[in-house]
């Protein structure tokens, strides 16, 4: 559904090298009746999904560590980031996509996932909606190697939940989606 307060005047592709970066010129009809012409760049990389695996018995969670160039160029000395498993939907529905990503990245074969919410993570410039999931795992959960596919180098971390929460406080975990999922588990009291 289109808003009567927005009229797109021009849509120009600036780059489609990795994903698509477009510049939009549009008229924005303000509440006071003034029409304001604005220009914004929007990065479209598709929608994604993220998941936090948790073990209520051992009070542990599964996270990953991998290199992220944007963090490196913005002051992260190693570029390595601890985060929850995530990936693009690639034309799958969110539940199918997150089960695929979970197995590829972590090696865990999860049958049941619970969608907890969805969110725009950087709505000022990125169009992506991220679907958030949690799933329980046990010592009996089927596993394969994980670590990503093809060119991905993903380290799988199984750490105590309390340690993960502490890593938020110390700044070792700075990834927004991961912080949101860890705090979701904490708020629901799923880890004790």
Domain boundaries, position 110 = 48-188
Q: Are residues 32 and 76 in the same domain?
A: no
Residue 1 placed within a domain: no
Residue 65 placed within a domain: yes
- Structure confidence at residue 18 (pLDDT): 87
- CA 25 to centroid of chain Cα atoms: 28
Helix axes 176-188, 161-170, angle to 10 degrees: 130
147 pLDDT above the threshold of 80: no
Total domains in the fold of the chain: 2
Nearest-angstrom CA–CA distance, 115 and 112: 10
89 pLDDT above the threshold of 90: yes
Intra-chain end-to-end CA distance of the chain, in Å:
43
- Structure confidence at residue 145 (pLDDT): 77
- Structure confidence at residue 137 (pLDDT): 96
Q: Are residues 28 and 105 in the same domain?
A: no
Whether 115 contacts 98, CB under 8 Å: no
Across the range 28-36, mean pLDDT stands at 95
Across the range 14-32, mean pLDDT stands at 95
The strand pairing partners of 135, in sequence order, are 53
74 pLDDT above the threshold of 90: yes
Residue 192: pLDDT band (50, 70, 90) is confident
123 pLDDT above the threshold of 80: yes
Nearest-angstrom CA–CA distance, 165 and 149: 28
Q: What is the pTM of this model?
A: 0.92
Q: Are residues 144 and 98 in the same domain?
A: yes
Q: Are residues 37 and 52 in the same domain?
A: no
Q: Are residues 99 and 141 in the same domain?
A: yes
- Structure confidence at residue 108 (pLDDT): 95
Q: Are residues 156 and 91 in the same domain?
A: yes
- Structure confidence at residue 79 (pLDDT): 96
Residue 150: pLDDT band (50, 70, 90) is low
- Structure confidence at residue 182 (pLDDT): 98
Across the range 58-75, mean pLDDT stands at 96
How far is residue 176 from each of residues 8, 115, 167, 173, 190, measured CA to CA in Å? 31, 17, 13, 9, 20
Average pLDDT, the chain: 94
């Amino acid at each position: 559904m289109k808003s009567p307060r927005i009229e797109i005047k021009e849509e120009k592709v600036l780059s489609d090298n990795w994903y698509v970066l477009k510049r939009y010129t549009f008229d924005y009809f303000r509440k006071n009746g003034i029409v304001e012409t604005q220009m914004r760049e929007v990065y479209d990389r598709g929608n994604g999904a993220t998941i936090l695996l948790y073990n209520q018995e051992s009070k542990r969670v599964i996270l990953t560590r991998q290199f992220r160039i944007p963090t490196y160029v913005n002051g992260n000395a190693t570029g390595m980031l601890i985060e929850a498993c995530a990936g693009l939907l690639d034309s799958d529905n969110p539940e199918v996509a997150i089960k695929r990503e979970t197995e590829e990245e972590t090696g865990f074969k999860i049958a049941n996932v619970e969608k907890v919410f969805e969110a725009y993570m950087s709505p000022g410039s990125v169009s992506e909606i991220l679907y958030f999931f949690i799933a329980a795992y046990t010592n009996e959960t089927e596993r394969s190697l994980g670590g990503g596919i093809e060119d991905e180098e993903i380290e799988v971390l199984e750490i105590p939940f309390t340690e993960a929460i502490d890593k938020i406080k110390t700044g070792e975990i700075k990834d927004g989606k991961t912080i949101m999922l860890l705090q979701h588990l904490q708020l629901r009291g799923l880890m004790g």
